[in-house]
Amino acid sequence: MEYRDTVALFASCPVDLFRPDVGFATARLLEQAGYRVEVPPQSCCGQVNYNNGDARHARELAWQIVEQFERYSYTVIPSGSCTGMITCHYPELFANDPRQARVSAFCERVYELTTFLVEVADFQPPAALPATRHGVVTYHDSCAGLRELGVKAQPRELLRRCAGIEVTEMADTEVCCGFGGTFCVKFGNVSARMADDKLDNALAAGADTLAGGDVSCLLHLAGRARRRGLDLAVRHVAELLADAGGAGIGEASAPEGDA
């Protein structure tokens, strides 16, 4: 098979640690779109340090990412938050630093997954997926993807194209779910209320599945949904697009032996 190009996959910590399925789904989608996928050694993009007032360490981690990934034509990330950290904040982080030009040149080739699939790859699925599997799907617009990157139409377009899913919009879909990195542990009471608003809106829209583009937000929402005993599946959009089976986030996996 002739590849169009090679793409570096940056999984993001939440995917790497909690939801490898999303990484594999991403790789599958990129392959289907005609790209060879490589996964260079990686850790955190630096956002945790950056947002908690530790720019020095954030810069060190950022530079490591640049060095590991800059040789690829594209870096693709199944997360609006980490992509926004790189494309919007790395240049700020290296302001007044001789490395800034190199950093900026790298940042221009970093894409959030659904944006890459729609705008660069013009992804056409190999075969339509069964739309019924996930019931009524609503999509939560995670903040960084929405506001820093303009991710809004792309996941909806892909869901329509790949699985014939018309997203059922909930109220306040653009309002934060309350994750916010360390915010969710430092201000747990406020964060939980924000999650409840989001989950209640999803249920009020009649959703069976709450989809999103950031596993971090989805871990928080799924964790809160489980704590409240709500009947709502939570999944990353890449899982829906790649028809990954398995349990939703925070749901019991299939019986023993599936390891």
Q: Which of residues 35-74 bind other proteins (CB under 8 A)?
A: 39, 41-44, 48-55, 57-58, 60-61, 64, 68
How near is the Cβ of 236 to other proteins at its closest, in Å? Answer: 12
CA quadruple 23, 250, 212, 148: dihedral positive or negative? negative
Q: Which of residues 213-252 bind other proteins (CB under 8 A)?
A: 219-220, 222-224, 226-227, 247, 249-252
Is residue 200 close enough to count as binding other proteins by CB under 8 A?
no
Is there a contact between 173 and 140 (Cβ–Cβ < 8 Å)? yes
Contacts 24+ apart (CB under 8 A), 97-101: 97/59, 99/63, 99/66
Is residue 159 close enough to count as binding other proteins by CB under 8 A?
no
Q: Measured in Å, how far apart are the chain's first and last C-alpha atoms?
A: 31
Among 23, 80, 212, 213, binds other proteins (CB under 8 A): 23
Is residue 183 close enough to count as binding other proteins by CB under 8 A?
yes
**Which residue, 128 or 190, has its beta carbon nearer to other proteins?**
190
Stretch that binds other proteins, among 109-117, 160-168, 178-186, 237-245 (CB under 8 A): 178-186
User: Which tokens in the block code for residue 161?
Assistant: 């194209």
Contacts of residue 27, Cβ cutoff 8 Å, sequence gap at least 6 = 9, 37, 39
Q: Which of residues 86-115 bind other proteins (CB under 8 A)?
A: 92
Q: Please give the C-alpha separations between residue 122 and each of 3, 30, 33, 113, 158, in angstroms, as whole numbers.
A: 15, 11, 8, 12, 10
Q: How many residues bind other proteins (CB under 8 A)?
A: 71
Is residue 136 close enough to count as binding other proteins by CB under 8 A?
no
